[in-house]
Structure 1
């Protein structure tokens, strides 16, 4: 079945622009590079992301590995086989993330980045507001499910590791 991913791709382009701006802003603290893959795990993702990655895999095959330690099945020799089509969660790793938890704002940063940065220096301007993007992705996914009459609820998440089995 052919799906329309134009809204999803526009969302991803917006995420990438924000991520690039934050990477530039925090370049002295960012240690992320090829070979750093502590955050590369088998995540659960929304159907819109799952099917977008599946479509990309039809164009460009990716070698998958069996994962026994929870690492991503698309991680081979410390290299992401689906980097161009990776999901939202993977695009934000390493960045300072601000999100609401139990009625208070929480900051999440990679333990390898920002080792010499005072948490008080983080603000809405120099972090990724994760809840804003999560909400937008949730609504995109809900519309994708409805438009394509898929048998999923808006709350269903799919295992990335199942992509290589389809």
Structure 2
């Protein structure tokens, strides 16, 4: 598969990422003094499973790392299934290509559970904020619906049936196998 073909297959995903990033960047500007999330803060970085569209985007970014870095990540992936193998010395090696859950973690997510409205965010963030505007929150159900649709469109372009979810350690070398 050529880069151009993969770019086209990932276009909906990259458009969604752009929208999510715009929201997060706006929040970061507004609440910059109330955010603990920064380089080196990795307590939330866990070994995850991803939709295939995210796994391929992650794998593509991984393939662009230099060989020693890829080897170190692969070694870490074989050693644990708890911490994200892409963390090297508390830094994400594919930060620009991180999945949506990683982009949004720590920021206010609006959801409904059993008919009750809930907002979740990292307890280290937004200290002293009494009330968040609804516009500060990402609607988790809507975002998950959009990601599911984007993923369905992406997987429909493959002849082989792709799994529903792909663990990060198995996603690392997907791109190289195309």
TM bucket, shorter chain: 0.7 to 0.9
Aligned length, in residue pairs: 162
Q: Which runs of 5+ in 2 are unaligned?
A: none
SS at structure 2 position matched to 1:98: strand
Local SS of the residue matching 2:136: coil
Alignment pair present for 1:103 and 2:101: no
Q: Which residue of 2 aligns with 1:157?
A: 165
Q: String of CA shifts for 1:32-62, please: whole Å, max 9, x gaps.
A: 1111101111111100000111122223344
Cα root mean square deviation, aligned: 1.8
Q: Does 1:76 align with 2:88?
A: yes
Contact conserved, 2:58 with 2:172, CA < 8 A, in 1?
no
The verdict on how the C-alpha distance between 1:85 and 1:114 changes in structure 2, with shifts beyond 3 A counting, is: same
Distance in 2 between the 1:110 and 1:15 partners? 17
Alignment of 1:134-145 (within 5 A): 134-145=144-155
Cα distance in 2 for residues equivalent to 1:79 and 1:42: 14
> Given that residues 100 and 106 in structure 1 are in contact (C-alpha distance below 8 angstroms), is that contact kept between their aligned partners in structure 2?
yes
Instruction: Give the conservation status (yes or no) of the 8 Å contact 1:23–1:95.
Output: no
Q: Give the helix-richer structure, 1 or 2.
A: 2
Gaps of 5+ in 1: none
SS where residue 135 of structure 2 aligns?
coil
Q: 1:150 to 1:136 in 2, by over 3 A?
A: farther
Counterpart CA distance in 2 for 1:80 and 1:6 is 23
Give the TM-score normalised by the residue count of structure 2.
0.82
Q: CA deviation at 1:69?
A: 6.6
Offset at residue 142 of structure 1 (A): 0.6
